[in-house]
């Protein structure tokens, strides 16, 4: 087996984007990051996005609305960002604290600023193989990890675990596209799937995105498979300073010896999500300046 080093691949992309942004004339790309509440994982993700933006030369504007804002007040806030010509990309960090609902806000973001790719228009474009929209960051990052690791999905059986809007559905659409690097035969499994291990054992490429710690075990994986672990789960661990450790959806010790290639957690898909967000922000800036 070999590890797919997401940190290294993301660093390469960040360096490419940094050079691209440095060469841009005039105002640099600007990303508005909206975070509501104090979910610890969201705090850490938004901080990482802000830090990477700064590294590239993208202006990160972090907006922390009070948790007491109503859904319609949040929508008004998004409307203001949509109308602001100094803002190129808008991201509403998910999850939102109840009773706010992310789906309505995702649709409120202008499709031209929807760097998360969650808007109906952008998901529709993805389903129609139309490159002019935004592809959500984690699925785009998975495809980039595969292509930069010389994994061609053509003719392969790609099994996706999970049907979320953020990962499962869009990554299945990407793997299915009739284009170089993709063209896979795709099966999507979910909580209603019967005899899931019988299906995962057929996977040439297994993408686990269900948010259940160490769900995929060695007996569920075909020898020589490529395993992409999208999960970032916090599991209580008193031996750690933080009181928890991060673990993926894959039980690494039993799967790693069977896999030809595997992504670690952390340091696999996670850094790629951030790199793709930056790429989308640069694309949104180009759109705003009529360069796309
Ligand atoms: N929460 C977990 N992943 C994501 C993501 O890619 N975008 C947003 N907005 N929230 C998330």
Task: Extract the tokens encoding 44.
Answer: 């850490």
CATH code, 36: 3.40.50.10860
Say what angle helices 120-127 and 168-176 make with each other, to 10 degrees: 30
Q: In the chain, how many domains are there?
A: 2
Ligand 1, atom 11, lies closest to the CA of: 94
Whether 1 shows a pLDDT value over 90: the answer reads no
**Can you give the pLDDT at residue 291?**
80
Distance (Å) of CA 134 to CA 83, 111, 125, 172, 277 = 19, 8, 8, 16, 10
Mention every residue, 6+ apart, whose C-beta is less than 8 A from residue 97.
Answer: 36, 37, 39, 67
- The verdict on 147 and 61 lying in the same domain is no
Express each pLDDT in 69-79 by its tens digit.
999 999 999 99
Express each pLDDT in 43-53 by its tens digit.
999 999 999 99
- The verdict on 35 and 159 lying in the same domain is no
Longest dimension (CA), the chain: 56
Q: Where are the alpha helices (DSSP H) in the chain?
A: 6-22, 40-56, 71-83, 102-108, 120-127, 137-148, 168-176, 196-200, 252-255, 269-288
Please, what is the average pLDDT of the chain?
Answer: 97
Distance (Å) of CA 263 to CA 192, 256, 260, 282 = 26, 9, 11, 26
Ligand 1, atom 9, lies closest to the CA of: 93
Pocket test for ligand 1, best of 41, 94, 106 (most atoms within 8 A of CB): 94
Mention every residue, 6+ apart, whose C-beta is less than 8 A from residue 234.
Answer: 40, 41, 244, 245, 246
Mean pLDDT value across residues 200-226:
98
**Can you give the pLDDT at residue 196?**
98
- The verdict on 94 and 143 lying in the same domain is no
Q: Is residue 82 part of a domain?
A: yes
Domain of 228, in residue numbers: 137-270
**Cβ–Cβ < 8 Å for 166, 123:** no
**Active-site residue 93, yes or no?**
yes
Express each pLDDT in 165-178 by its tens digit.
999 999 999 999 99
User: Percent of the chain beyond pLDDT 70?
Assistant: 99
Mean pLDDT value across residues 179-188:
98
Task: Extract the tokens encoding 187.
Answer: 């099966």
Residue among 88, 114, 116, 229 flagged as catalytic: 116
Express each pLDDT in 215-256 by its tens digit.
999 999 999 999 999 999 999 999 999 999 999 999 999 999
Mean pLDDT value across residues 206-211:
98
170 phi, psi to nearest 5 deg: -65, -35
- The verdict on 186 and 90 lying in the same domain is no
Q: What is the C-alpha separation between 175 and 292, in angstroms, rounded?
A: 24
């Amino acid at each position: 087996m070999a590890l797919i080093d997401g940190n290294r691949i993301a660093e390469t992309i960040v360096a490419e984007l940094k050079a691209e942004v440095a060469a841009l004339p005039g105002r640099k790309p600007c990303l508005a990051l909206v975070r509501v509440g104090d979910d610890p994982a969201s705090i850490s993700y938004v901080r990482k996005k802000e830090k990477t933006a700064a590294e590239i030369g993208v202006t990160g504007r972090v907006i922390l609305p009070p948790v007491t804002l109503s859904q319609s007040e949040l929508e008004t806030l998004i409307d203001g960002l949509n109308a602001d010509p100094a803002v190129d990309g808008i991201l509403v960090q998910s999850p939102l604290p109840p009773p706010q609902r992310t789906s309505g806000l995702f649709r409120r973001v202008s499709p031209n600023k929807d760097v998360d790719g969650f808007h109906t228009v952008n998901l529709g474009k993805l389903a129609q193989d139309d490159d002019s929209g935004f592809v959500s960051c984690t699925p785009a990052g998975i495809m980039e990890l595969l292509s930069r690791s010389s994994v061609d999905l053509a003719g392969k059986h790609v099994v996706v675990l999970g049907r979320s809007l953020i990962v499962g559905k869009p990554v299945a659409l990407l793997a299915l596209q009739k284009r170089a690097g993709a063209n896979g035969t795709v099966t999507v499994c979910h909580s209603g799937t019967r005899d899931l291990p019988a299906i995962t054992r057929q996977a040439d490429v297994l993408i686990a995105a269900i948010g259940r710690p160490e769900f995929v075990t060695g007996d569920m994986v075909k020898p020589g498979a490529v395993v992409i672990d999208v999960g970032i789960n916090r599991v209580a661990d008193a031996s750690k300073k933080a009181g928890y450790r991060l673990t993926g959806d894959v039980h690494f010790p039993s799967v790693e010896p069977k896999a030809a290639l595997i992504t670690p957690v952390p340091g696999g898909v996670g850094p790629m999500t951030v790199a793709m967000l930056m790429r989308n922000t640069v694309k949104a800036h180009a759109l705003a300046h009529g360069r796309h």
